[in-house]
C-alpha cells in the first residue's frame, strides 16, 4: 500500500466533483492511499501568476511546505494545479534567495519549505507507479467495444517535465487500452480546450471545444476521457452551447479517466460520481452492460 | 531600470526575451493568435523596441491560455507563456487598463475568491465576476441569458455548491501575504 | 653556467594588459632571484618583440628566457626559434600562460595581476633548472592515408597523388562518391552533380598513385606524425574483385530484394549489388546480412547461389568469370603513412523526433535527400516528383531550418539548406507545374553567385514566406483543406497566423556529425567541438589541421559546408600533407624519458604501462631502455617506476618542484 500526499484542487468538490470522487474510489482498489493535505489552499493557478507572479509563488509554496511535512510525494489530479505547483517548486529550488524570502513570510504561519517535495500528476502515478499492467490484472470487466478519444489537454504534458510526449503523448491511450477499451486515433489529443477563458472569451473557447469534439466524432469515438477538471467541464457542460452555436449534434459523454478505470474495476456509478456528468453517459453504460452480458 | 527590455528581462518569466530570433513559431502555434491585438512574436519585437505603453495596455497576453505549445516548440528557449504572464503582472502592477477583453476582471475575481476563502469558490467567483463586468454582459444579451442554463445544469449535477468551503483561518494566507509584501517592499 | 634569466611580459594588445597590470608584473619579476632583466612589451610574438629577446641574449648574456604571454600551443615554437636564432638552446625557454589561464578567465584586475605574478615566479624558478636538449628529427613516410571517399576525400587524394606521392583512399561503402553522388543538380550553377563528380571518381579509380580500398574500414592507428602504422579491415565482399567485370548479371539473378540505402529507402537493391550504376570501383558486393546463401550457411544449409549457378533449367548462366566466392574472409592489411586526412562527411538530420512536422506519420512529408533522389533522373521515380499515390503534386512546401538553429536539436546553422531549398524550388518549377512555397526564418545566400541565385528563384515564381512553421497537419478546418497537408505558421512580415494547404512537404534537414564520430575521433586521437564535429586546430588560422600533428580534417566532418568550400578545404589539407612530405623530416619533441641504468632494477613496470611500446628490456644488462624515436614523453613510466629510476627530460622532479614552489608566492 503506497501512500501519497493528496492535493485535490479547488474544483474537486465543485465543477470537478466527479473527478474528486472517482480518484479516491479507484485509489483503494489500486492499492494506493491518497491522504488529503490538511487545510490546503488554492494553488493560485494561472490567474494569480498573471496578477502577481511572486505572490503566486508564496501561495503555491504554502502547499509545498505542508506536503514536505508529510515526507510523501504530492499528487494532484488537476493538470493546472500540477503545472502551477511543479513550476513554483522548480523555481524556488533554483532561486535560494527567493526561497528564503518566501520562507520568511511562511514563518508567520509556522511553516517552512526546503525544496524536498516531488510534485506529480495522478496520471503519472497510474502510469509509472501503478502501471497499466497491474490495472489490467485488477479489473473486473473489460470495456470491450468502447471507443474512447483520449483527451490529454495541455498541461499534463506541457511544459515538459519529463512525463510523456509534449505533442503526441501516449499515457492515456495506454490506460484506456489496459481496460480493454479502444483508444481511437485522435490528432488533437493534446490541444487546448480554452481553459478558463470559457468564462471571459466564450466564443473563442467554444470554437476550440468544437474542434476537439469534431475530431473525436470524426474518428468514431463513443466518448472522451480526460485527466483535467477544467477540460472536462468545458467539453461536457458546454457541449450543448457548442451544438447550438455551430449547429452540430454532438452527444459525446466526457469521462474523467478515473471514472473509466473505476467502471472497469467494477465500482458503482455513485461512488464514481457518474451522476455529475452532464452529457449523459447512460447510453454508453448501457452498451457496456450489454457487452458484459455476452450479447 | 534603464529601459523596458531590461525591466522585462528582470521579471521572472521574461529572462529570455533577448534570445528571440523572430521566427514566428510561437504565433504559428498559438490557438488564439488571431484574437490577440498583437500576436506573441510581435509583442516580443515591441518589447525590444521599448514600446512599453503599447505592450502593457494591449490585450494580447490576457488571451494566453497557458497551453505551452509555443514554449515546447520555440527554437530559442524563450518561453513565451511565462513571458506573457510576466507582462500581465507588470501591466497590473503599473496600473494599465486593458480594453478588448474582460479576462483581467475574471482573474481579479479568481484571486479575490482565494483571498476571501483560502480556496476558489467557483459559484461565488462567477457571480462576482459577472457583476464586475455588467456592461460587457449587456453588450451580448443573448449569450448572457444562455449562461443561465449552463449554470443551472452544473448546479443540478451537484457541481456548483452555493456555499464556499472555508479553509481554517484562510490558511493564514492574509498574514503570510502581508509579511511577504513587507519583505518585498524593503528589497 | 650561472643562470641569467630574462623575463618578458606580453601585453598581447589589450588581451592581457586589459586585465593584468603588466608593468607591475615586470617590476615584480625584476626582483626575483636569478633575473637579470625583466621587460614588458605590447606584442612579444612580433618581430620587434622577438628581437628584444635576441638582443638580451647577445648583449646581456641572458641564458634562460621566460615569456609570460599566451598558451604554449600558440607560441612556444615561436619563442624557442627566437632563442635558437640568437644562439641559445631552445630548451632553455619556458612560457607562462597569463592569457588563457589568467587574463581571459577573470575580470578582477587585482586577482589577475596576482595570479600572473605567481605564474611568472613559477616559470622563473623552473627555468633555472632547465637543461640543454637536442630535438630529434625523424624521416617522414611519404605516403598519405585519406579516410572517406566523398568529394572531400576524392579531391584530397587526387591533389596528393598528382604530386607523385602514394595515397591510400579508404571508404566504408563499396563505392566512392559519398553524398554528392546522391544529389541531382548543384547550386548555384545547377551543374548535374554526377556529371562533375564521376570524372573525378574515374580519375581516382585509375590513378597510378592512388590505392583505392573501398568496402573497408580503419581498424587501428599507431605511431605518430610522419610514422603512422594503420590497420585497415577489408570487409569480405564474397566477390573476387580481380575477376568481377561489373557486368551486373548477378544482380538480375539475385532473388533477394531489400531497401537501397543510396536511394534513402525510396528504391530497392538486391543482396548482391552495386550502390549505383556509376560505382567506382565498378564491382559488386554481397550484403551478408541479407544474402540467403550466407544466412543459410550459418544453419548448415546450401541454398540459392543463383548469382553463381545461374538458372540451369533455363540455360541461364551465373557469373561467367567465376567471381563469386562465398569462402571469402575479412582481410586486415597494414600500411605505413606519414599523414592522414580525415574526410568522413556528414549525416542528414532525421526529423522523426519533430512530431509536429509529421515525418514518418503523415504521407508526403519527405526529407531533402528523399527529394533529391526523387528529382534525379537516375533515381527511383525516374526524375518524376510524385506523391505516395503516384500522382504529381500541385503544391509543394519547402521548410527551412529543420533540426538546425534549434536549441532542442542542433543550435548551429547548417549553412547549405537555404541554398539547396532554393535549388529544390527551381527543380520543382522545372519538373512540375506546382505552386512552390518556401518557409524561412532568414535567407543565407552568402557565397559567390548565391544572392543572384536567390533573385533568380524569386523571379521564377516561388513564393517566400518568412515564418518557421509551427506544425504540419492533416486535420482540415475548411473544405479547401480536406485531403491536403496544411502548413500552419505566422507570416511574420504580415504579422498574422496563416494556414497554407499543400500536397507535399519537403523538410530541409540539417547536417549533423556522423553517428560514430565519437568512436572515430578516439581512433584518430582527435577532438570534437561542442557540436560534435571534428575540432580544427584554429578556426581561422588553421582550419584543416588538428591538435594531433600529422592528422588533418576536411569537408563536412569539420562542419557543415557546401561543395566549393569542401573542395577548397580538401585541397588545403592536401597542401599541408604535401608540405610535410616535401620537407621529408619532422622534428620530434626532445622531452623524452630517460632511465637511469644504475637505479633500474629491471622490474619492467614501465614497459608494461607504456602506451607507445617505447620501452624495451635489455636481457644482458637486466635494465629497461627507452627508444627515443617512439617515446612521446607522456610520463606514465616516470610515475609508475617504484624505484624512481625514470625521469622525463624537460619535466624533471627538480624542475616541477621548483615550479610548484615558485607558484606559492
pLDDT in tens, C203-253: 999 999 999 999 999 999 988 889 999 999 999 999 999 999 999 999 999
Q: Tell me, what CATH number does C80's domain have?
A: 3.40.50.960
Query: How many helices and strands (H and E) does chain A possess?
Result: 14, 8
Give the separation between CA C202 and CA C210, rounded to whole angstroms. 11
Asked which of C587, C605, C633 is the last residue of a domain, the reply is C587
Contact across the interface for A165 and C355, Cβ inside 8 Å: yes
Residues C143, C148, C154, CA angle at the centre, nearest 5°? Answer: 70
- Chain C within 8 Å of A215 (Cβ-Cβ)? yes
Compute the nearest-CA separation of C364 from chain B (Å): 21
Question: Could you tell me if residue C13 is inside a domain?
Answer: yes
C301 vs C523: CA distance, rounded Å? 38
Q: Are residues C477 and C378 in the same domain?
A: yes
Average pLDDT for C68-84: 93
Cell 528557449 belongs to B77
Do B50 and B7 touch, CB atoms closer than 8 A?
Answer: no
In chain B, residues under CATH classification 1.10.1060.10 are 4-93
User: Does residue C428 sit in the same domain as residue C362?
Assistant: yes
Distance from the C571 Cα atom to the nearest Cα atom in chain B, whole angstroms: 36
Give residue-wise pLDDT tens across range C39-58.
999 999 999 999 999 999 99
Q: Average the pLDDT over C360-383 and give the result.
A: 96
Strand partners, C170: C147, C213
Same-domain check for residues C78 and C126 = yes
CATH of the domain at C598: 3.30.70.20
Q: Residue C497: which of B28, B73, B76 has the nearest Cβ?
A: B28
Range(s) of the domain holding residue C491: 347-512
Residue C597 pLDDT exceeds 80:
yes
| β-strands C144-147, C93-97 pairing | unpaired
Question: Which structural domains are found in chain A, ordered by start?
Answer: 2-122 (1.20.1050.140), 140-293 (3.40.50.11810)
Task: Indicate the pLDDT class of residue A294, thresholds 50, 70 and 90.
Answer: very low
- Give the rounded distance of the alpha carbon of A36 from its chain centre: 16
- A188 CB within 8 Å of a chain C CB: yes
What residues of chain B score a pLDDT lower than 50? none
pLDDT reported for residue C627: 85
| CA pair distance C452, C458, nearest whole angstrom | 10
**Contact with chain C for residue B20, Cβ under 8 A:** no
Mean confidence (pLDDT) of chain C: 95
**What's the average model confidence in pLDDT over C583-604?**
91
Amino acid A286: pLDDT: 86
Averaged pLDDT for residues C480-509: 97
pLDDT at A291 over 60: no
**pLDDT band (50, 70, 90) for residue A295:** very low
Measuring CA to CA, how many Å separate C488 from each of B24, C443, C502?
Answer: 11, 20, 11
What gap in Å lies between CA B146 and CA B125, rounded to an integer? Answer: 18
The label of the residue with cell 467567483 reads: B125
Contact assignment for A188 to C475 by CB distance below 8 Å: yes
Residue A149 to residues A153, A176, A185, A213, A240, Cα–Cα distance (Å):
12, 9, 7, 9, 19
Is residue C260 domain-shared with residue C217, that is, in the same domain? Answer: no
Could you tell me if residue C65 is left (phi over 0), alpha (psi between -120 and 50 degrees) or otherwise beta? Answer: beta
If asked whether residues C363 and C478 sit together in one domain, one would say yes
Contacts of B51 (CB under 8 A, 6+ apart): B4
**How much is the average pLDDT of C328-337?**
97
Q: Are residues C351 and C459 in the same domain?
A: yes
Q: Do B75 and C407 touch (CB under 8 A)?
A: yes
Is residue B24 less than 8 Å (CB to CB) from chain C? yes
On the 0-12 / 13-18 / 19+ scale of CB atoms within 10 A, C597 is middle
**Residue-level pLDDT at B2:** 62
Closest CA–CA distance from residue C478 to any residue of chain B (Å): 16
Three-class DSSP category at C624 = strand
Instruction: Report the pLDDT value the prediction gives residue B147, as an integer from 0 to 100.
Output: 87
Among C537, C572, C587, identify where a domain stops: C587
Mind listing the pLDDT tens digit for each residue in C615-663?
999 999 999 999 887 788 889 999 999 999 999 999 999 999 999 999 9
Residue C173 resides in a domain: yes
Predicted confidence at residue A290, as pLDDT, reads 66
Residue C238, CB half-sphere, CA atoms under 13 Å: how many?
A: 21
Q: Are residues C534 and C342 in contact, defined by beta-carbon separation less than 8 angstroms? A: yes
Number of domains observed in the structure of chain C? 5
User: Is-contact C336 C142, C-beta < 8 A?
Assistant: no
Could you list the beta-strand ranges (E) of A83-213.
119-121, 147-150, 182-183
From A165, A166, A187, residue closest to C473, measured CB to CB: A187
Nearest to C122 by CA among C261, C7, C277: C7
Are C638 and C609 part of one and the same domain?
Answer: yes
Residues A131 and A120: their CA atoms lie apart, in Å, by 15
DSSP element (H, E) containing C588: strand C585-588
Structural contact between residues C418 and C450, judged by C-beta atoms closer than 8 angstroms: no
Give the other-Cβ count within 10 Å of C638's Cβ: 20
In this structure, the answer to whether residues C485 and C362 fall within a common structural domain is: yes
Tell me the CATH number of domain B4-93, given options 3.90.870.10, 1.10.1060.10, 2.30.40.10, 3.20.20.70.
Answer: 1.10.1060.10
pTM here is 0.89
Chains that touch B (3 or more CB pairs under 8 A): A, C
A216 → chain C, closest CA residue: C475
Query: What pLDDT does residue B187 have?
Result: 57
Domain end among C108, C135, C162: C135
Enumerate the residues of chain A whose CB falls inside 8 A of the CB of residue B158.
17, 275-276
- Looking at the structure, tell me whether residues C403 and C483 fall in a common domain: yes
Query: What was the pLDDT predicted at C138?
Result: 86
- Give the Cα separation of A53 and A68 in Å (integer): 22
Would you say residue C320 lies in a domain? no
pLDDT at C316 over 70: yes
d(CA C158, CA C170): 13
- Shortest CB distance from C356 goes to which of A167, A211, A215? A167
Name every residue whose Cβ is closer than 8 Å to that of residue A129 and which is 6 or more positions away in sequence. A2, A32
Segment C98-111 mean pLDDT: 95
Best mutation target, B157, B162, B165, B175, to test chain A (most A CBs within 10 A): B157
The phi, psi pair for A31, rounded to 5°, reads 60, 35
Residue at grid coordinates 567541438: C529
Same domain for C548 and C477? Answer: no
Q: Is the pLDDT of residue C431 over 90?
A: yes
Q: Strand pairing partners for C227?
A: C224
Instruction: Report how far residue C559's alpha carbon sits from residue C536's, in angstroms, rounded to the nearest whole number.
Output: 10
Q: What is this model's ipTM?
A: 0.94
**Number of neighbours of residue C191 by Cβ within 10 angstroms:** 14
Q: Does C477 sit within 8 Å of A211, measured CB to CB? A: yes
Distance, in angstroms, between C481 CA and closest chain A CA?
A: 14
Size of interface B-C (CB pairs under 8 A): 69
What SS3 state is found at C167? strand
The beta-carbon neighbor of B72 closest among A54, A166, A196 is A166
Q: In the structure grid, which three cell numbers stand for residue C549, read together?
A: 600533428
CA distance linking residue B24 with residue B44, whole number of Å: 10
Task: Nearest by CB to B103, from A18, A159, A200: name it.
Answer: A200
Segment C65-89 shows an average pLDDT of: 94
Residue C658 lies in a domain: no
Helical residues (DSSP H) of C306-449, grouped into ranges: 306-309, 368-375, 417-431
SS3 B150: helix
> Contact A58/B176, CB-based, under 8 Å?
yes
For C600, counting Cβ atoms within 10 Å of its Cβ (0-12 exposed, 13-18 middle, 19+ buried), the class is buried
CA C64 – CA C131 distance, rounded (Å) = 10
Amino acid at each position: 500500500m503506497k501512500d501519497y500526499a493528496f492535493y485535490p484542487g479547488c474544483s474537486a468538490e465543485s465543477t470537478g466533483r466527479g473527478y474528486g470522487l472517482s480518484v479516491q474510489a479507484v485509489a483503494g482498489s489500486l492499492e494506493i492511499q491518497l491522504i488529503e493535505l490538511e487545510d490546503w489552499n488554492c494553488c493560485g493557478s494561472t490567474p494569480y501568476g498573471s496578477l502577481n507572479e511572486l505572490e503566486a509563488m508564496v501561495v503555491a509554496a504554502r502547499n509545498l511546505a505542508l506536503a514536505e511535512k508529510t515526507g510523501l510525494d504530492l499528487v494532484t489530479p488537476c493538470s493546472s494545479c500540477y503545472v502551477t505547483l511543479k513550476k513554483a517548486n522548480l523555481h524556488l529550488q533554483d532561486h535560494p534567495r527567493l526561497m528564503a524570502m518566501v520562507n520568511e513570510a511562511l514563518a508567520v504561519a509556522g511553516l517552512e519549505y526546503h525544496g524536498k517535495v516531488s510534485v506529480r500528476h495522478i496520471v503519472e502515478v497510474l502510469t509509472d507507479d501503478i502501471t497499466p499492467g497491474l490495472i489490467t490484472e485488477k479489473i473486473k470487466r473489460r470495456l470491450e467495444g468502447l471507443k474512447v478519444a483520449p483527451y490529454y489537454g495541455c498541461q499534463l504534458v506541457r511544459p515538459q517535465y519529463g512525463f510523456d510526449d509534449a505533442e503526441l503523448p501516449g499515457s492515456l491511450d495506454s490506460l484506456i487500452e489496459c481496460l480493454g477499451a479502444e483508444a481511437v486515433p485522435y490528432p488533437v489529443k493534446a490541444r487546448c480546450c480554452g481553459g478558463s477563458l470559457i468564462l471571459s472569451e466564450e466564443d473563442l473557447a467554444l470554437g476550440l471545444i468544437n474542434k476537439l469534439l469534431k475530431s473525436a466524432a470524426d474518428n468514431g469515438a463513443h466518448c472522451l476521457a480526460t485527466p483535467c477538471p477544467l477540460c472536462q467541464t468545458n467539453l461536457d457542460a458546454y457541449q450543448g452551447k457548442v451544438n447550438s452555436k455551430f449547429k452540430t449534434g454532438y452527444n459525446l459523454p466526457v469521462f474523467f479517466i478515473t471514472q473509466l478505470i473505476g467502471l472497469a474495476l467494477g465500482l458503482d456509478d455513485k461512488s464514481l460520481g457518474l451522476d455529475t456528468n452532464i452529457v449523459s453517459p447512460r447510453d454508453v453504460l448501457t452498451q457496456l452492460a450489454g457487452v458484459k452480458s455476452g450479447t | 531600470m534603464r529601459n523596458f527590455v531590461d525591466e522585462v528581462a528582470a521579471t521572472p518569466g521574461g529572462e529570455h526575451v533577448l534570445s528571440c530570433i523572430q521566427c514566428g513559431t510561437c504565433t504559428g502555434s498559438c490557438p488564439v493568435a488571431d484574437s490577440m491585438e498583437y500576436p506573441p512574436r510581435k509583442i516580443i519585437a515591441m518589447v525590444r523596441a521599448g514600446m512599453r505603453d503599447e505592450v502593457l495596455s494591449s490585450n494580447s497576453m490576457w488571451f494566453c491560455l497557458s497551453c505551452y505549445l509555443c514554449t515546447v516548440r520555440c527554437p530559442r528557449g524563450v518561453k513565451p507563456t511565462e513571458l506573457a504572464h510576466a507582462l500581465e503582472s507588470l501591466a497590473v502592477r503599473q496600473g494599465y487598463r486593458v480594453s478588448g477583453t474582460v479576462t483581467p476582471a475574471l482573474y481579479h475575481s479568481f484571486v479575490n475568491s482565494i483571498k476571501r476563502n483560502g480556496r476558489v469558490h467557483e459559484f461565488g467567483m462567477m457571480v462576482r465576476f459577472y457583476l464586475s463586468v455588467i456592461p460587457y454582459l449587456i453588450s451580448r444579451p443573448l449569450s448572457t441569458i444562455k449562461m443561465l442554463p449552463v449554470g443551472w445544469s452544473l448546479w443540478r449535477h451537484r457541481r456548483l455548491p452555493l456555499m464556499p468551503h472555508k479553509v481554517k483561518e484562510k490558511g493564514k494566507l492574509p498574514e503570510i501575504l502581508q509579511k511577504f509584501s513587507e519583505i518585498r517592499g524593503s528589497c | 653556467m650561472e643562470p641569467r634569466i630574462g623575463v618578458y611580459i606580453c601585453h598581447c594588445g589589450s588581451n592581457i594588459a586589459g586585465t593584468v597590470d603588466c608593468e607591475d608584473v615586470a617590476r615584480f619579476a625584476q626582483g626575483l632571484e636569478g633575473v637579470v632583466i625583466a621587460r614588458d612589451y605590447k606584442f612579444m610574438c612580433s618581430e620587434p618583440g622577438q628581437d628584444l629577446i635576441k638582443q638580451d641574449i647577445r648583449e646581456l648574456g641572458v641564458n634562460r628566457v621566460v615569456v609570460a604571454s599566451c598558451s604554449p600551443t600558440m607560441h612556444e615554437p615561436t619563442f624557442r626559434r627566437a632563442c635558437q636564432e640568437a644562439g641559445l638552446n631552445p630548451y632553455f625557454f619556458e612560457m607562462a600562460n597569463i592569457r588563457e589561464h589568467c587574463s581571459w578567465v577573470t575580470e578582477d584586475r587585482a586577482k589577475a595581476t596576482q595570479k600572473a605574478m605567481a605564474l611568472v615566479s613559477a616559470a622563473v624558478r623552473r627555468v633555472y633548472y632547465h637543461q640543454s636538449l637536442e630535438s630529434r628529427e625523424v624521416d617522414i613516410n611519404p605516403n598519405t592515408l585519406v579516410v572517406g571517399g566523398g568529394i572531400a576525400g576524392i579531391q584530397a587524394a587526387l591533389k596528393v597523388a598528382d604530386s607523385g606521392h602514394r595515397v591510400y583512399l579508404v571508404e566504408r561503402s563499396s563505392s566512392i562518391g559519398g553524398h554528392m553522388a546522391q544529389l541531382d543538380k548543384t547550386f548555384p550553377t545547377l551543374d548535374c552533380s554526377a556529371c562533375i563528380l564521376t570524372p573525378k571518381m574515374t580519375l581516382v579509380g585509375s590513378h597510378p598513385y592512388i590505392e583505392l580500398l573501398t568496402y573497408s574500414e580503419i581498424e587501428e592507428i599507431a605511431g605518430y606524425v610522419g610514422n603512422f602504422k594503420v590497420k585497415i579491415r577489408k570487409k569480405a565482399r564474397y566477390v573476387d574483385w580481380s575477376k568481377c567485370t561489373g557486368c551486373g548479371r548477378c544482380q538480375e539473378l539475385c532473388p533477394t530484394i531489400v531497401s537501397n540505402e543510396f536511394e534513402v529507402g525510396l528504391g530497392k537493391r538486391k543482396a548482391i549489388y552495386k550502390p549505383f550504376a556509376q560505382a567506382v570501383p565498378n564491382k559488386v558486393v554481397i550484403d551478408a546480412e541479407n544474402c540467403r546463401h550466407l544466412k543459410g550457411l550459418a544453419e548448415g544449409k546450401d541454398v540459392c547461389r543463383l548469382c553463381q549457378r545461374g538458372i540451369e533449367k533455363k540455360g541461364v548462366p551465373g557469373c561467367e568469370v567465376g567471381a563469386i566466392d562465398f569462402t571469402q574472409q575479412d582481410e586486415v592489411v597494414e600500411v605505413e603513412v606519414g599523414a592522414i586526412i580525415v574526410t568522413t562527411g556528414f549525416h542528414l538530420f532525421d526529423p522523426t523526433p519533430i512530431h509536429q512536422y509529421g515525418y514518418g506519420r503523415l504521407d508526403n512529408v519527405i526529407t531533402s535527400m528523399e527529394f533529391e533522389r526523387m528529382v534525379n533522373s537516375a533515381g527511383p521515380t525516374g526524375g518524376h516528383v510524385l506523391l505516395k499515390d503516384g500522382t504529381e503534386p500541385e503544391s509543394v512546401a519547402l521548410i527551412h531550418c529543420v533540426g538546425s538553429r534549434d536549441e532542442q536539436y542542433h543550435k548551429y546553422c547548417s549553412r547549405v539548406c537555404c541554398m539547396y531549398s532554393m535549388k529544390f524550388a527551381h527543380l520543382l518549377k522545372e519538373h512540375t507545374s506546382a505552386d512552390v512555397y518556401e518557409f524561412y526564418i532568414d535567407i543565407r545566400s552568402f557565397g559567390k553567385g548565391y544572392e543572384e541565385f536567390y533573385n533568380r528563384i524569386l523571379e521564377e515564381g516561388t513564393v517566400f514566406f518568412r515564418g518557421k512553421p509551427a506544425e504540419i497537419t492533416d486535420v482540415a478546418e475548411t473544405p479547401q483543406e480536406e485531403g491536403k497537408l496544411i502548413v500552419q505558421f505566422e507570416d511574420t512580415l504580415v504579422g498574422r497566423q496563416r494556414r497554407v494547404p499543400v500536397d507535399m512537404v519537403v523538410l530541409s534537414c540539417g547536417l549533423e556529425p556522423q553517428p560514430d564520430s565519437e568512436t572515430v575521433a578516439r581512433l584518430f586521437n582527435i577532438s570534437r567541438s561542442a557540436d560534435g564535429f571534428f575540432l580544427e586546430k584554429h578556426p581561422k588560422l588553421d582550419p584543416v589541421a588538428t591538435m594531433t600533428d600529422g592528422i588533418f580534417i576536411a569537408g563536412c566532418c569539420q562542419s557543415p559546408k557546401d561543395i566549393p568550400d569542401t573542395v577548397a578545404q580538401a585541397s588545403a589539407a592536401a597542401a599541408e600533407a604535401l608540405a610535410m612530405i616535401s620537407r621529408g623530416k619532422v622534428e620530434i619533441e626532445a622531452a623524452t624519458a630517460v632511465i637511469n641504468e644504475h637505479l633500474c632494477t629491471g622490474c619492467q613496470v614501465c614497459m608494461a604501462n607504456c602506451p607507445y611500446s617505447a620501452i624495451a628490456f635489455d636481457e644482458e644488462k637486466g635494465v629497461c631502455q627507452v627508444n627515443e624515436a617512439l617515446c612521446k614523453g607522456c610520463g606514465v613510466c616516470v610515475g609508475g617506476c617504484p624505484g624512481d629510476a625514470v625521469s622525463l627530460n624537460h619535466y624533471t622532479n627538480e624542475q616541477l618542484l621548483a615550479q610548484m614552489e615558485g607558484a606559492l608566492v
